[in-house]
Chain A
Amino acid sequence: MDSNVSSSSSSATGRSLVSAKVVVAGGFGAGKTTLVGSVSEIPPVSTEAVMTEASEKHDDLSSTPEKVTTTVAMDFGRLTLEQELIMYMFGTPGQARFWFMWNDIVRGAIGAVIVVDSRRLADCFDAIDYFETTQGVPYIVAVNRFDDDLPYTVDQIREALEIAPKVPIIDFDARDRNSAGNVLKILLRYALERPRQPDAAA
């Protein structure tokens, strides 16, 4: 359906509009929302999901033993890549205790960026574990260069985090629009290169 869209078509409600999603994961305060804000054409928006699944290990259940309701905020941004192709960037909730809702955010993503704070490497372990065990969503690791200073080399970080050799790791500045946009380009290239089953069951 790659037709030439005439300039007169206002396509605001055109049926040929399609969307895609990229997930931005990482530890609390690693720079996820900064990355989204740097590339998004709209200020990052927050939406709330009410979770009723229990997170027994973390929440104090003494007052409400039967059920836990947690409201989780997700930040997201938008990029119009073409007249009829829109990409959304979704930040996962930072706290590890919300990992149980990642499935809903991650489902159907074309890829994920794990943002790493080079000063607090351990904070991204949950995110890396999650994407290592979640088949089908290609991910790359982006080390946020705070204060223009990277205390480790990318190779040291790969070793410390035990990242598979095939997974791209790059360093970037989440505050810089082109630097953050470059992260998305690398993710898309990686997503295109990886082997996939022809029309595997969704």
Chain B
Amino acid sequence: MRNRRSRRGRIRPYTFTGGRTRSRHPLLVQTLVSAADAGTETPSNLPPEAQRIYEMCRETRSVAELSAALKIPLGVTQVLLSDLADQELVYIHPTITGHSPSENQVLERALRGLERLFQ
């Protein structure tokens, strides 16, 4: 693997725009998010939408649930959550995709859960 670490001359577009459309964290629609410290007051320097998201994250919720409850489009919700995660205000929970056999144990737990719920 070639090491191409040189950053000279490379400036990421969102440095300028501030209008990013991609989050830098693995935030899928089903990803659960919770406030890093639910007891902390909402930081007042956050944009209003980010404050509302932070408030709701006092209980663990998925990206889609936050978007639906706050009526903030998914893409915007993802970017704001990404900012909150950068500031270590929210914790992003792991998401199981089942793409690796190492996740079989969790998939089997999921299947047992379904078998309990549905006859």
Contact = CB atoms under 8 A, between A and B. Distances in A.
A20 B106 contact: yes
Contacts of B59: 12-13
A21 interface: yes
Count class of interface residues, chain A: 35 or more
B108 A46 contact: no
Contacts of B71: 48
A85 B110 contact: yes
Interface string B17-35: 0000000000011111011
Interface residues of B, number: 46
Contacts of A13: 34-35, 38, 58-60
Contact of B101 (A48, A90, A196): A196
Contacts of A184: 114, 118
Given A13-B59, A196-B100, A88 B94 contact: no
Interface in B90-119: 91, 93-102, 104-115, 117-119
Given A13-B60, A20-B30, A110-B97, A47 B110 contact: no
Interface string A15-51: 1011111000000000000000001000001111110
Contacts of A180: 118
A87 interface: yes
A154 interface: no
11 contacts: A18-B32, A47-B64, A82-B110, A86-B62, A88-B64, A108-B95, A108-B97, A177-B118, A178-B118, A185-B111, A199-B101
Interface of B: 28-32, 34-35, 38, 58-60, 62, 64-65, 67-68, 71, 73-75, 91, 93-102, 104-115, 117-119
Given A21-B95, A86-B62, A185-B115, 6 more contacts: A78-B62, A85-B110, A110-B97, A197-B100, A198-B101, A202-B97
